[in-house]
Structure 1
Amino acid sequence: MNKEINPNIALKGRVLSRHVVQEPASLWLHYYVKTENGSVLVKVPQAEFICFCATTNLSSLLSIPALGVVRTKALTLHSFDLDKVTAIYCQSRQGFRHLIKGAIDLGIALFEAEIRPEQRYLIERFIALDGEFMGHYAQALPSAGLPVFIAQRARASFLDIKLKSISLDFECSFNGELYSVGLYGRDGNGDEYRKVIMVGQQTTQAFNAQPDGDFNHIVDDIQWVSDEKSLIVALIDWFADYDPDVIIGWAVVTFDLALLYRRAKFHRIALTIGRGASELGWKVADKYRPETLTLPGRVVLDGIDWLKAAFYRFDSFSLEFVSRALLGRGKAIHNVENRGEEITELFHHNKLALAHYNLNDSRLVWDIFEKTQLFDFAIERSRLTGLELGRVGGSVAAFNNLYLPHLHRAGYVAPAMAVSQGLESPGGYVMDSIPGLYRDIVVLDFKSLYPSIIRTFLIDPKGLIEGLSSQESDTVDGFLGAKFSRRNPILPQLIKTLAEHREEAKTEHNAPLSQAIKIIMNSLYGVLGSKGCVFHDARLASSITLRGHEIMKQTRRWIEELGYQVIYGDTDSTFVWLGDRTPEAEVDALGKKLVEVVNLKWKEKLADEMKLDCYLELEFESHFEQFFMPTLRGSSEGSKKRYVGAYTKADGELELIFKGMEQVRSDWSPLARRVQQELYFRLFSKLDVVSFLHGVIDDLKLGKLDDELIFTKRLRRDIKDYTAKSSPHVKAAQKMCQSTGDEQYARKGTKVEYLITLNGAEPVKFQKSPIDYDYYISRQLFPVSDPVLTILKVKFESIASNQLPLI
């Protein structure tokens, strides 16, 4: 350590990864931080594992053997049972484990034992992503020269630190031997970084890039290495030199980094690609998942996981499908479905084309991240929740990060376990629908209904404990016997802050921040309704959902008192039929007027009856010029969560919106989905439906539509793990295994393409029996056609004559 130390240096930076490290003498917290001047390892000394117990149980816990060095401190905090609590501090991981095990054996509850020390240190100081650390510099780590900063104090900050990112993609043989790695990035000025590390000898052959690639000078981007071992060593050197903060890719953890780890292990190479020459590792052996990955100082973002986290939906999350959908271009290879064989062929005979393919995949991932603003979304989500940058999921952890520091300051610790075990609250309100074909349906939505209910009705875990235990007469009634204190509720205030930030984000056109806040706000109910959350209490969740039921029913009554009919309602949406006499030009104005009336009524009702400020806000969401609500199959009863609406776009084209219909479900054949789309277009456009169906059935029986009969579905688990083998795609996968002798077709994730033949489901590549056209008529075309034909009073049997009886 330096002789002259200034203990008051301020270091500001973005926390990229966080760790607890047991050193010989004591426990330390390690934070890899990106500053404006580079990366620094911030070390916090004298760390401890912390939990709480009821003070009356302390002596029993301290008698547990092998605790090691433990200290305790009596606190003014209370449990949710209103018992006084004492904090227990353990200076070793092993001692803390003995404490937890001993407490279980004694039947004594420990509070907040699941909160990791490296996380608790940050959240108690309200540090989510950016922090300011006060302390001094130590000597650099001798192996890597990474500066080390010893922190004594820390506080939250808000910084604009630019992170250096790279898109990484490996190409390999069927048995996993590495061929090449593609590395692609762009800086803030749009300048490209391109590199391929390729096994092989330098070639002078010419290469013309394909239209999808545009890498005409690909040979200049290649670093040639002699073998796979040299490739791994070269990549380790590249990480030390380029030093990225963020690694992105497609299945980059479960495939690329897992493969790299296995191959490095095979060659007995220490995979030191983390900051400070630290090794990539896994918290659980042979479980290559994002939550088990450890890569100190670097953030890994998987494109598939983050698109799902941002609520993008695709029929397939393959890179080819998503890139075509979002970018209008895809992989630079001829046969995407059988690319494994083609990749091996290119490796042996055209390495420049393989390098082009490899680099193009890396660029596709980069462009998807930029197109969808996933970089910004990930940063905003971490900044809002305190979750480690790069962590997907974690709704319960996010809730704890937001709630616990406020709870402690209010005088409580979190409960040890959920109150409700098996007693679940009801879901959102779904109204019985009135089926039929309508004109002029307006949809009115409550904006962020569940967060608004929490804020309006003061629903809060702390508020519930205080409302039930105190002598306060002025509480807010919930459901299932709940009462909520009006004094300083935590969760409603958090909702208020998030809502205000979202409005600011909208004003500033910050879409990633707005989306992140929306997702977090809407997840708060889900967390309270989950038994995986220690705050779960059916009284809390039911006070949200049952209040939602009440709100939807009352809103319907008010609208119908005004002379309009509500034909359907679902969770937060109310579908209102304005009748046949409303002039088209007045529909939108009338919908907005209904919103004004209902919002005013809610404000008056809650102020008069409950002395509450109302944050419920009904909005005019959309206007369907035509709308179809089907019946349940074989019944006159209206369906739920299924409808088709239509409106005219600015260019005069008719736009159809399908909800819950076969059209939006990937487990129906392309033919069924296309026919359903066309049928409703014709229904709403008053075009001939019957002749269209006649033509489809004729072409089907003549074999002209065979390409539209292929079902595509992936195995969600290995075939051996399916308890029921009757699913068509499972049977087809089994037949693929039998036909090829290749067990890869039995593995989770395998895409199965199959047809229904006279011998059942058969894989397309190994079809032996004729296609069962009667199946497609009775099981595919009939279900999608019947609702439309019923409206037209036409029998499907009359169109599909000479077919087998319908089932």
Structure 2
Amino acid sequence: MANIRFYPIDITYVTEGEETKILLFGRTDKGEQIAVKDSFEPYFYVLPDRGFNPETIQKTIVEGNRIFKIKKMNEEVRSYMGNKVGVYRVVVNHPSAVPLFRSLFLSDETVKNVFEADILFTRRYLIDTKLAMMTLYEVEGEEEASHLKVPVFKARKMTQISSDLFQGVRALAVDIETYNPGGRYSSSDKDPIIMLAVYGTGYQKIVTWKRFKTDKNIEFVNSEAELIQKFQEYVEEYKPDVIIGYFSDRFDLPYIKKRAEKYKLKLDLGLNHTGIQLSRGYSSDVRIIGICHLDIYQFIFNTMRVTMKTDTYDLSSVSAEILGEEKHDVNIANLGEIWDNSPDKLEDFCMYNLQDARMTYLLFGKLFANMAEMVNILGLSLYDVTRMSFSNLVEWYLIGQAKERNVIVPNKPNSEELNARMNREPFIGAMVLEPEPGLYKDIAVFDFRSLYPSIIASHNIGPDTLNCDCCPDADNVPEHNFHFCKNKKGFISSVIEDIIKRRSRIKEIMKKNYDDLLYARQYTLKTLLNSTYGYFGFYGSRWYSPESGESVTAYARHYVRTVVQAAKENGFKVIYGDTDSVFIQIPEGKTKQDALNFMHTVNSKLPGIIELEFEGYCPAGLFVFTKHGGGAKKKYALLTEDGKIKVVGFAFVRRDWSNVARETQRTVLEIILKEKDPKKAFNYVRDVIEKVKRHEIPVKDVVISTQLRRGVSSYEQYGPHVAVAQRMSARGIMVGPGSMIRYVIVKGNEKIRDRARLVDEVSQDDYDPVYYVNNQVIPAVEQILNIVGYGRDDLLEDKDQSKLESFF
């Protein structure tokens, strides 16, 4: 008998005879890589109908040389959709037995349904045992003989020693560069990997197979095959817990795998001597058994993009925002030509390759706290949580909570149910009040704290409480003819209420003692809270309930209307309202304290945990007209009390406008709101227009970026970005849905789309100043300047006018 302490990091299972064992890979508290084997039995639930007899059920299924068995069936009472039900817990000998016996039970007319047969075995283990990945465990057991690359301990008992997350994760970033003749997209079928870089703590390597003179630490090998073998050597030398990449699920690792297969290289990176494993289906996730593979792109796109300013998720844009570090760029489209003809210029590309690996590594370091807290809160593995969408995060948190609360997990919808859900009319969303355009002083902004989650908790909203029989006299949801139970707390509403309280406690602690892990924890909880409303209406949801989703927005509209009406009755002017917020103007004779007193009065009348909060005081704000004359919704700029400009909906926060348009708009807003000088703003725009006319604006500032929404060939009518995408395709550059197309409009008399060019095709004097003045600069500021009395004609004519300076 031996005792070891280790941090579990990766999880899989192995088959031993007719049985299955869980295999946990991790690192000991002394820094050694190990695997721990644990016992666990797969199972699912059967909901019986009349006449069901467990004794008559077939207990064995033989497929080829494999025997699948029902080991036991235990009767249990659990909750399903708010009702107590008797079910059988069916334990089998192997995960592959679950779908076989599921089909067997469903074919039995004495069985109503089968539940939880689609929960992955490793996730089932983590949920049931509550084993917290990446925390310290003491294992009692003994080492056993094994073919694995690391020692294996057979566990008799595992005890958590500390709930602190492992901070010593050893990560290795990898990035490849591939041959791309003519700048076209590389194909793993025919184009070799020509450079590979890895980056870790105190460890960095670049390898290529074309020699050139350099004083950099670059390794040279004789072939692509040797380069791939070098990669395996690096992994075995560094011994990472985690291999990280950027877009590595869909590019780097599948590419390496394909090229290794070409040379019949084993490339057994896995700690069980297996290679790079690609998942089946749409997701294309990549696994390396025993070493957790993380694709930073997946994590950012799936769970962080809503909080990011950029709408382009390439490594350069993401690094600039998260790390504050710009990439030293090279023209990667020229790599193939330089590889063939100018090897003396390859050094820059090698350093670019290493830079990509380094930035990927730094991003992992920056984001690790968020990833680790998702592991902590969801109770799943690092590999799984970093690939989950918002709906997946909610669903798996609910599945974990269902186990704790003795609740049966509903099944996923079948294809017929999916089609019906997808064809259902979407429910009415939030209320957005049309603002009265203008400049305003003394604005108080209020918003409801976590409004949608608070409504779910306060009104007991969920599929298991909908139209209950126990309280038929309950008030209906506003605008609807259904209600939710008042007597019995529902599963989802109770889970949401617990999360709200938990997050509030964390935020209180953070006020006294800020901590990065605590911030990541509350951020993860916030993500779960804000995603639950959408999960009700998500067509793939297990707890699908469009009535619940409709009720959340109906109550939200009701409470916003309530605040708007109360504000008017208390002598405030309501400027704007949007989803969960209300903007009011404090009139002369009233103070900010009066606005706060109004808020307290409103809160005294709100139910449950629904609460209106003071978001802030703004000395000035600007709301603009639409093109058709009304007030523009979701488009405003506010000057905050600390002198910052908060902007919603304007061009300078969007990438599909040129830099010159965005920068002009930003500056105009600052001059009007901060300096209170409309005339100066007007003159500034006039100066920009003159610079555009004289071609004094750099080409980089007239580049327009637009994302392709569909494949290039699927557009019947198309704009300049599609025309440029066609030019790119003609040059062999692969583009498709999601590609960001960067282009410049040049001078000429043709249609605009026929004058769109790739950036590298344009020089300083080529861009069309008339287009940029009329279609970029003026549209970016026209609505703003209209508010202070200047129009398009004023910008294009030499006039000296007196406008709304009197506002200030």
TM-score by length of 1: 0.82
2:398 to 380, 399, 403: 403
Partner of 1:74: 75
Partner of 1:189: none
**SS of the counterpart of 1:468?**
coil
**Whole-Å Cα distance in 2 between the matches of residues 123 and 796 of structure 1?**
63
**SS of the counterpart of 2:234?**
helix
Offset of residue 408 of structure 1: 4.6
Q: Taking structure 1 as reference, are residues 351 and 12 closer, same or farther at Cα in structure 2, changes over 3 Å only?
A: same
Q: Does 1:548 align with 2:588?
A: no
Offset of residue 778 of structure 1: 4.1
Offset of residue 383 of structure 1: 0.7
The code of the aligned residue for 1:728 comes to: P
Offset from partner CA, 1:718-754 (integer Å, 9 cap, x none): 423x34451321122213434x3x2535686364324
Partner of 1:686: 677
Kept in 1: contact 2:42–2:98 (CA 8 A) = no
Q: Does 1:575 align with 2:583?
A: yes
Segment drifting more, 264-273 vs 665-674: 665-674
Offset of residue 413 of structure 1: 1.1
Offset of residue 535 of structure 1: 0.9
Partner of 2:452: 450
Partner of 2:174: 168
Q: Does 1:177 align with 2:192?
A: yes
Q: Taking structure 1 as reference, are residues 452 and 748 closer, same or farther at Cα in structure 2, changes over 3 Å only?
A: closer
**Whole-Å Cα distance in 2 between the matches of residues 141 and 348 of structure 1?**
47
Offset from partner CA, 1:303-330 (integer Å, 9 cap, x none): 3333442332314333333434555543
Kept in 2: contact 1:646–1:655 (CA 8 A) = yes
Offset from partner CA, 1:50-100 (integer Å, 9 cap, x none): 243344486699579958423433221253375532233343454433345
The correspondence of residues 406-417 of structure 1 with structure 2, limited to 5 A, is: 406-408=401-403, 410-417=405-412
Q: Taking structure 1 as reference, are residues 401 and 199 closer, same or farther at Cα in structure 2, changes over 3 Å only?
A: same
**Whole-Å Cα distance in 2 between the matches of residues 86 and 170 of structure 1?**
52
Kept in 1: contact 2:441–2:621 (CA 8 A) = yes
Q: Does 1:97 align with 2:99?
A: yes
Segment drifting more, 57-66 vs 772-781: 57-66
Segment drifting more, 253-262 vs 453-462: 453-462
Offset of residue 524 of structure 1: 2.4
Partner of 2:801: none
Partner of 2:25: 32
The correspondence of residues 312-461 of structure 1 with structure 2, limited to 5 A, is: 312-327=308-323, 329-332=325-328, 335-336=330-331, 338=333, 340-341=335-336, 344=339, 348-349=343-344, 353-370=348-365, 373-390=366-383, 391-408=386-403, 410-417=405-412, 421=421, 422=424, 424-461=426-463
Offset of residue 283 of structure 1: 1.6
Kept in 1: contact 2:678–2:788 (CA 8 A) = no
Partner of 1:611: none
Offset of residue 153 of structure 1: 6.6
1:43 to 14, 29, 37: 37
Unaligned runs of 5+ in 1: 1-5, 187-191, 208-217, 607-613, 803-807
**Whole-Å Cα distance in 2 between the matches of residues 575 and 527 of structure 1?**
29
Partner of 2:803: none
**Whole-Å Cα distance in 1 between the matches of residues 566 and 736 of structure 2?**
56
The code of the aligned residue for 2:664 comes to: V
Q: Taking structure 1 as reference, are residues 180 and 773 closer, same or farther at Cα in structure 2, changes over 3 Å only?
A: closer
**Whole-Å Cα distance in 2 between the matches of residues 506 and 57 of structure 1?**
60
Offset of residue 157 of structure 1: 5.9
The correspondence of residues 399-548 of structure 1 with structure 2, limited to 5 A, is: 399-408=394-403, 410-417=405-412, 421=421, 422=424, 424-462=426-464, 464=465, 468-470=468-470, 480-487=481-488, 489=490, 490-491=494-495, 492-505=497-510, 507-510=512-515, 511-548=519-556
Segment drifting more, 373-382 vs 145-154: 145-154
**SS of the counterpart of 1:19?**
strand
Offset from partner CA, 1:276-322 (integer Å, 9 cap, x none): 4332201227x673xx2222222233333334423323143333334
Offset of residue 659 of structure 1: 0.5
Offset of residue 347 of structure 1: 8.5
Offset of residue 576 of structure 1: 1.3
Kept in 2: contact 1:182–1:197 (CA 8 A) = yes
**Whole-Å Cα distance in 1 between the matches of residues 131 and 428 of structure 2?**
36
Offset of residue 148 of structure 1: 3.3
Partner of 1:728: 720
Kept in 2: contact 1:125–1:155 (CA 8 A) = no
**Whole-Å Cα distance in 2 between the matches of residues 184 and 246 of structure 1?**
12
The correspondence of residues 735-774 of structure 1 with structure 2, limited to 5 A, is: 735-738=727-730, 740=731, 742-744=732-734, 749=739, 751-755=741-745, 758-759=749-750, 760-761=752-753, 762-764=756-758, 765-766=760-761, 773-774=769-770
Kept in 2: contact 1:135–1:152 (CA 8 A) = yes
Segment drifting more, 245-254 vs 478-487: 478-487
Offset from partner CA, 1:522-580 (integer Å, 9 cap, x none): 22222233222111212322332222222222222233332112211112221111125
Segment drifting more, 564-573 vs 129-138: 129-138
Offset from partner CA, 1:5-58 (integer Å, 9 cap, x none): x4xx66654432232444442233332233324333233335324243344486
Offset of residue 657 of structure 1: 2.4
Kept in 2: contact 1:474–1:485 (CA 8 A) = yes
Q: Taking structure 1 as reference, are residues 592 and 543 closer, same or farther at Cα in structure 2, changes over 3 Å only?
A: same
**SS of the counterpart of 2:319?**
helix
Offset of residue 382 of structure 1: 1.3
Kept in 2: contact 1:502–1:517 (CA 8 A) = no
Partner of 1:624: 618
Offset from partner CA, 1:193-220 (integer Å, 9 cap, x none): 333344356x8x563xxxxxxxxxx43x
TM-score by length of 2: 0.82
The code of the aligned residue for 1:656 comes to: I
Kept in 1: contact 2:319–2:359 (CA 8 A) = yes
Kept in 1: contact 2:7–2:29 (CA 8 A) = no
**SS of the counterpart of 1:640?**
strand
**Whole-Å Cα distance in 1 between the matches of residues 691 and 787 of structure 2?**
25
Offset from partner CA, 1:616-668 (integer Å, 9 cap, x none): 33322222222111122112x2221111122464xxxx643221122222112
**Whole-Å Cα distance in 2 between the matches of residues 488 and 746 of structure 1?**
48
**Whole-Å Cα distance in 2 between the matches of residues 10 and 454 of structure 1?**
47
Offset of residue 119 of structure 1: 0.8
1:116 to 117, 120, 126: 120
Partner of 1:136: 141
Offset from partner CA, 1:227-272 (integer Å, 9 cap, x none): 2222222322322232111223322332221221121111111222
The code of the aligned residue for 1:158 comes to: S
1:713 to 703, 706, 720: 706
RMSD: 3.7
**Whole-Å Cα distance in 1 between the matches of residues 119 and 342 of structure 2?**
48
**Whole-Å Cα distance in 1 between the matches of residues 739 and 620 of structure 2?**
40
**Whole-Å Cα distance in 2 between the matches of residues 14 and 485 of structure 1?**
45
